[in-house]
Amino acid sequence: MKYSLTSLLAGLIFGLGLMVSGMANPEKVLGFLDIAGLWDPSLAFVMGGAIIVGLVAFAVARRRTLSFLGFTMKMPANNRIEPRLVIGSMMFGIGWGIAGFCPGPALVALGAGEIKAVVFVASMVAGMMAFEVIERIKRPSLGDTRGYQKN
């Protein structure tokens, strides 16, 4: 119960932050990506803030064996840059540039009734399902712990 409430609160804060910053608006994102036109640098400040928060959070997490809620910490075990990471990143960037959405803002826009978000989220879910099917065919014994190590 504590985990569910904390997850809900974190999601609400994240979604509120996306709405306040305008990142759930695909036009704002496309304005950031339009470096040859009317470039909107505000997304760079949002990203910079997120990077700073992430650096602090990972620094704290690396020194802990349990989360603040008492669960075992799971940190990424693989730090190699592999072809699938590069290809996946390129696919993410292309999709982001075409649609103006990434997953978090797309969910916020979906909740706000944005029609474009329905198509994006449906495509995102289909892609995640296809990835899982392919991964299970390739490596059926991986389960939910692939890519993570216990601290």
**Cα–Cα separations (whole angstroms), residue 118 to 98, 101, 113, 128:** 15, 11, 8, 15
pLDDT at 73: 85
Q: Which long-range contacts (CB under 8 A, 24 or more apart) does 24-27 make?
A: 24/105, 24/108, 24/109, 24/112, 24/114, 25/100, 25/105, 25/109, 26/99, 26/100, 26/101, 26/105, 26/109, 26/114, 26/116, 27/100
- Domain residue extents for the chain: 2-142
**Could you tell me the pLDDT band of residue 148, with boundaries at 50, 70 and 90?**
low
pLDDT, one tens digit per residue, over 42-91 is 888 888 988 999 999 989 988 888 888 888 888 878 888 989 889 989 98
The chain-wide mean pLDDT, for the chain, equals: 85
Q: Token pair of 43, please?
A: 């997304």
